[in-house]
Amino acid sequence: MRMALALAVLTLAPATAWAGDFTMTVRNKAGVPVQNAVVMVYPTAGAAPRITGPYVITQKDITFDPFVMIVPVGAEVKFPNKDKVRHHVYSFSAGNRFEIKLYGKDETRSVVFKAPGAAAIGCNIHDRMAAYVRVVDTPFAVKTGADGIAIVRGVPGGSAAVRVWHPYLRAPKNEVAATVVIPAQGAVGQAQSVEIRAPANTHQGH
């Protein structure tokens, strides 16, 4: 499913001329690849992301899936409950606060994420359930895989700002910034080392 999502993102990239691919490798201080880091590229000639979809975060086995989801501003995310128990999904994140009170099995509720940024999503009944929706305002955003690599394709050439975000990244707003020059054609790679703190609570590993 995760792979499918990644493929979906790739297919979104416009196949235009004067665009290159940007590969970002994210590792922690120990050199271990960091998964689920969101790499966001802001080229000078930016473009608004388009809402595609559907965006779904499933609750199954008392776990949110996926753990990290990238959505464009204004996207609607569905929260289907596949568990037999009830969940009380909420987020206190500024601009994206919501609360889906005690909905039962196979019930699906959706939430529109209006504010760019990270929305931490939890379940008030099950403390160890956690998920993060990264609301982005750029079409060039990809999350790293288990190898810590994210490839952003079709980025317009030229200088671009890069932001790397991760829910546990030890930095203000859990993200670090960098710049990169994207070639008009071809690929460029960059590595980013980040400090990852232990998760505050036990939940699904990453």
Provide the binding-site residues for another protein, judged by CB under 8 A. 90, 92-93, 120-124, 127-130, 132, 167, 200-201, 203
Q: CB 204 → another protein: shortest distance, Å? A: 11
Instruction: Work out how close the CB of 114 gets to another protein at its nearest, in angstroms, rounded to a whole number.
Output: 17
**CB nearer another protein, residue 120 or residue 178:** 120
Q: How far is the CB of 92 from another protein (least distance, A)?
A: 3
Bond from prior residue into 54 cis (ω within 30 degrees of 0): yes
Nearer to another protein, 29 or 147 (CB): 29
Contact predicate 170/29, CB 8 Å: no
Number of DSSP helices (H) and strands (E) in the chain, helices first: 1, 17
- In angstroms, rounded to a whole number, what is the distance separating the alpha carbons of residues 140 and 158? 14
Q: What does the alpha-carbon distance between residue 108 and residue 112 come to, in Å, rounded to a whole number?
A: 13
Q: What is the rounded CA–CA span in Å between residue 78 and residue 57?
A: 6
Least Å distance, CB 29 to another protein, is 16
- Closest to another protein by CB, 22 vs 165, is 165
